[in-house]
Chains A and B, each alone.
Chain A
Amino acid sequence: MVAVEFAIETNGLTKRYGPLIAVNKLNLKVKTNTIHGFLGPNGAGKTTTIKLLVGLLKPDEGTISIFGQEVVGDRPDVRLRMGYMPELPKFPKHLTGYELLDIYGKMYGLNVQERREQVPRLLEMVGLKDRGNDRIGKYSKGMQQRIGIAQALINNPELVIMDEPSLGLDPVGMVEVREIMNAIVKRGMTVFISSHLLHEVQQVCSHITIINRGITLASDTLENISNQLLGPSTLEVEVTKLTDAIVKNVKKVPFVSSISKEDNKLLIQVEKQEDVRPQVSEAVTKSGGVIVTMNLKERNLEDVFMKLIIKSKGAKTK
C-alpha cells in the first residue's frame, strides 16, 4: 500500500443545521503516525466534524479524504482502516462485553482465531478482563467508556478517532486512557482525538487543531502555534546580588531578546521555544553571581487556547 502523508484531509468541509453553520469551510490535515488533538469550546463543531469524518453525517459542501481515499456516500472499505470511539458511547445493553467485541471483530473480517486472541487482549488492556462476560447494561459509565476504547481498537486500525475519550472517567481512568493512547501511537496508529481537557491534549498530542464556531483558528504543532501566538517565553532568575556585569553577560546569550530587573530577579525574554537555562547559568556564574532560583515560565496550551478563542470572539464582535 502506498504511504500517504495525511491520514485525514478535508477541503472546504461545511455542514449546516438549518441557519446554523456547524462546520464552516474546514481544511483539516492530520499527518499519519501522529497524535493530533482537536480542540474547541462547547459547540465549536468538533463532534460534527468527527461525525462527518466517520460517515454519520453528510457534508453540505467540501470533501473528505481518509488515507487519500475520498469519502463519498457509504464507504465500508474506508471504515475498514478506522476505529472510532464516540463521545459517551452507547452499546447494546443485551450483549456482553465479549460478545460485543466478537461481533464487531467479525464485522471487520477477523476470523475466529484472531478474535479469540484479540478480544481477551483488549478486555485486559482496558481493565475489563473480569467483566467481559457481564452484559453491557450492567456496566458503569466508566466501563462503557473503556469498552468503547476496546471496540475502537478491535481491528488494529491505522487511524483511531476518539471523541472525548476521557469524558466521564475518574482521574485514574484518565491516566489509563492517556497511557493507552501513548501505547497505540507506538504501534504505528494515527490518533485523532477531540477533547476539552487541554492538559490531557498537551501531554499526549504532537499536533493540534483549534476550532471555534466551525472555523479553524490554528492547526500546527503546539510549539509552532505557541511561538506564533505567545511570542517569547520568560525565564525568571533570582540571584544573591544583581550586578550590571550579570545583566551585560546574560544579554549576550543567544535567543535572549530582552531583560528586565525586579529586585534581585532577572526577567529574561527568550525567542522561540529554546531552553537557554544552561547558557544563562554559565553567564551568571562567570559574572560572579550566585543563582538562588531559576524558573522557566512555559507557554502552555491553555494560554494558546484562550488567546485564540478570545481573539476569535473579538473578531466576531467587530
Chain B
Amino acid sequence: MSRSRTSPSRITRFSAVVKYELLWNIRKKKFLGMIVLAFILATLSLVLPVILSNVTNQPLNQNPDYVISTGTGIGGLGFFLFAIVTVMNSISGEFESGTIVPLLTKPVSRTTIFIGKVFAAFLTLFTTYVILTGYLAIGGTIVYGAQNSLHLLPISLMGNILSTFVWIAIVLAIGSISKSSMIAALVTFGIWMGLTIASPIISMFSDQTWILHYVIGSGATGYIEGLGSPNPLIPGMPISTGTDSIATNLINYILYPSANVTFFKIGILGPGSPLLVELYTEALSLVVLRSILVATAYILVFSLISWYAFRRAQVLQ
C-alpha cells in the first residue's frame, strides 16, 4: 500500500541536490583534466627553478614571500577555465541531455535545485583550491625555505573563489538562458577574450581608466609607489583593479594598509611622447573594497538572471 509521506525538510532535499551535483562535478572528465593540468603547472613552477639552478650552477635564492604571492597559482585564465569546467553543464547540460526531466519532477523546488547546484560548485572549487594552495605551500617551503604570512592564505583562498564565482555566475546565466553548454562556454570565452584584449589597451592609452574598475576580469593597471619595481621605467609595484585580482589586492592591503595606487596612461601625442601621464591616485583600501563590491554585484545580478531563467524554464523536448 502506498503511504502518505510527510514533506522532507529543505535541508534533506538540498543535501540530496548537492550530492547529485558534487558527484557529477568530480566525475566530469574535463574537470579532472583541469585539475591534472593545474597540478602539472604548479609542479613545473616549483621544479623548474630548481632544475635551472642545477643546470646553471647558480644557487636558488630563498624567497620567503613565494607562497603568499603565488596563492593558488591561478590567475585570470585559471579562474575562467575552472568556472567553465565546473558549471558549463550544470544547468544547460541537464536540458541538453534530458536529465532535467526526472530531476524537475522530484519534490524539490527549482530554487532549491539551483542553490544546491551553486553550492556544489562552491564546494568543488573550495576543495580544489585548498588542495592546490596546500600543495604550493608545502612545495614552496621545500624549494624556497621558510615562508612569511602563511596565516593569510585563507584570505587569499576566499578572494580567489570570489573571483572565480564572477565567471561562474556568468556561465550559469548564459547556460540557463540558452540551455546550451556550448553557447555558455563560447559566449563566456568571448567576454573573457574581449576584456583581456581591451582592458590593457584602455588602461594604457585612455583617460577613462576608471571604467575598468567596474568591469570583470583584470581591470585597470595601477602602481603602488615605493614598492616592488627596481626598474626606473616602472613607477612601482603593478596591481590590477579588476575582479580577478581580489586575492592579491587583499593580501597587499593587509601587508601595506596605507598604500596608495596611482594610475597612469601613456601619452602618445604630446611633445616628448611617449611618456607616462599621471591620471589620479587612490587608496589601496578603496581599490580592494570596490573590487569586492563589484564582484559581489556581478555574482548577484548574474545569479538572479540565471535563477529566474531556470525557474521559468519549460521542458519542451
Residues on A close to B: CB < 8 A?
1, 17, 51, 54-58, 74, 76-77, 79-82, 84, 86, 88-95, 99, 103-104, 106-109, 148, 151, 155-158, 187-189
Contacts and interface: CB of A to CB of B under 8 A. Distances in A.
15 contacts: A56-B314, A74-B311, A76-B7, A77-B107, A80-B107, A81-B5, A92-B97, A95-B23, A103-B16, A108-B5, A108-B8, A109-B5, A109-B12, A156-B5, A158-B2
B107 A79 contact: yes
SS of A interface (majority): loop
Nearest to B311: A74
Interface in B94-141: 97-99, 101-102, 104-112
Interface of B: 1-9, 12-13, 15-17, 19-20, 23-24, 27-28, 97-99, 101-102, 104-112, 311, 314-316
Nearest 8 interchain pairs by C-beta = A109-B8, A90-B98, A106-B16, A80-B107, A56-B315, A76-B107, A94-B27, A107-B106
A156 B1 CA distance: 8
Contacts of A104: 16, 102, 106
B108 A107 contact: yes
B278 to A, nearest CB: 55
A92 B103 CA distance: 10
A92 B24 contact: yes
A74 B110 contact: yes
Contacts of B311: 74
Contact of B314 (A58, A86, A188): A58
A159 B108 CA distance: 17
Nearest to B312: A58
A108 B314 contact: no
A94 B93 CA distance: 13
Contacts of B3: 156
Contacts of A109: 5-9, 12-13, 107
A95 B6 CA distance: 27
A51 B315 contact: yes
Contact of B16 (A51, A56, A107, A151): A107
A76 B12 contact: no
Contacts of B111: 74
B199 to A, nearest CB: 37
A51 B102 CA distance: 11
A108 B5 CA distance: 8
Contact of B23 (A74, A89, A99, A158): A99
Contact of A79 (B2, B28, B105): B105
A79 B109 CA distance: 10
Contact of B101 (A56, A77, A94): A56
A298 B180 CA distance: 52
